[in-house]
Amino acid sequence: MASRAADRDPRTLAVGNGAGFWGDNRDAPYLLARDGQLDVLTLEYLAELTMAILSHLRSKDPSAGYVTDFPELVERLAPILEEQPELRIVTNAGGLNPSACAARCGAILARGGAGETIIGVVTGDDVLECIPGWIEAGLDLSDLETAEPIAGVAGRLVAANVYLGAQPIAEALTRHSRLVVTGRVADASLTLGPAAAHFGWSWDDWTRLAGASTAGHLIECGAQATGGLWHGWAELPDFAGIGYPIAEIDAEGSFVITKPAGTGGLVSVGTVTEQLLYEIDDPARYRTPDVDVDFTRLSIVQQGMDRVAVTGAAGNPPSDGLKLVGVYRDGWTASGMLAVVGRDAEAKARAVGSIVLERVRRSGFHLADSLVECFGAGDVAPGVVRPTAPPFEVMVRITVRDPDRAAVERFCRELAPVVTAGPPGIAGYAAGRPTPRPAFGYWPALVPRAEAEARVRIEVRTAAEWAESSSGRVDSTTPPS
């Protein structure tokens, strides 16, 4: 078994996160686990876009709907799990089908002789079947951004998931699970669950829960805490080999953020603070299903090279509502790009967009939504920065959406003609004609905590038992890079 890091306090729990989204660095989880520094490896794969992708996969195959990268990773980590019998893995890779994910992982482990490995599965976040009854019962599931009632999209919903908290994860771990596979849980809960289970915290110990939730928030996005997206990126050593973060959490909920020795990137007050503020609305009330965290009293101190100590998190009871995210079908969409080079490149690019959309209109289709973007002329961040001189080359991207697939197909056929029937200087058309793809809408709402938590189930089986429960087939589809 690999030895623990010599400079780590053995009274702490070391939680390392090897994925911030589906499609993250495939070597990071292995490199984190390899050296024996971890007690828990977490993998945070899910975002709203990911749920839409998974819902599309599940619509084509009822046994799909989970993150297919994870079983492949389990196969790679199997020797490490054997060498490090105390290592645990906690992940939301289950997506819309945690049981199928567990079955596939179980088959892999059983085939490798690790059939007695305990796998815990947390379900109950998938509430799609509940929506009609909740609407009939008068629950307010209005869109948090627009206040529109959910009834308008209820018939087109393909996924509806509640953000669960850390308690079922902790229970699965106390029942000796080495792998815990969940669906949609709050990102920080992946870290809080192991910490609460390890230290035996009560679920109203708001200070300690707040501390570990802060640690979870800091490591949930992977390398963003170790130099990814950092303003000082050009000064980072070995950016190509950037290390992924580890939180060493103590019994009081304080912790140190670090990374494996010999890896690239940097752990500093700057990198940690930038990640702390990432996706934060009110720093005095960072809402999670487990605790409302107050970041305003935190102390963030450089403790040594690539070691930052964080103390002082405060917590309050969470709200009675849990976040619900729905994904609904919203017609069809397509997007195409062309390069435009030469004098007046921006004007020509914008003309290309107008010409394409006008030709679609003249063909008898009126697109519900369209967007023309001119990259190189300030459209990545509209209204923020304009080039100081007229750009000599730009990329024009035209995106459309419409309930009618035929309208989107017509748009796809109108891009190529402008190569010879449009302004001069057009290039970048070798990729060919775009194709229509399903468009999905995002529906954020709140659901009463009691309604959601009543559905939570924790199922613990050996790997061999999970393998027997299903064929465990993996869909070959992978997410876009």
Evaluate whether 213 touches 196 at the Cβ level (below 8 Å): no
Res 480: pLDDT: 34
Tally of CB atoms within 10 A around 429: 15
The packing angle between helices 189-199 and 206-219, to 10°, is: 140
Longest distance between any two alpha carbons in the chain, whole Å: 71
* CB-side neighbour CA atoms (13 Å) of 230: 25
Evaluate whether 74 touches 109 at the Cβ level (below 8 Å): yes
Res 383: pLDDT: 86
Q: Is the dihedral of CA 43, 47, 51, 54 positive or negative?
A: negative
Res 385: pLDDT: 83
Output the tens digit of pLDDT for each of the chain's 481 residues. 334 454 567 799 999 999 999 999 999 999 999 988 999 999 999 998 899 999 989 989 999 999 999 999 999 999 999 999 999 999 999 999 999 999 999 999 999 999 999 999 999 999 999 999 999 999 999 999 999 999 999 999 999 999 999 999 999 999 999 999 999 999 999 999 999 999 999 999 999 999 999 999 999 999 999 999 999 999 899 999 999 999 999 999 999 999 999 999 999 999 999 999 998 999 999 999 999 999 999 999 999 999 999 999 999 999 999 999 999 999 999 999 999 999 999 999 999 999 999 999 999 999 999 999 999 999 998 888 888 899 999 999 999 999 999 999 999 999 999 999 999 999 988 778 999 999 999 999 999 999 999 999 999 999 999 999 875 443 333 343 3
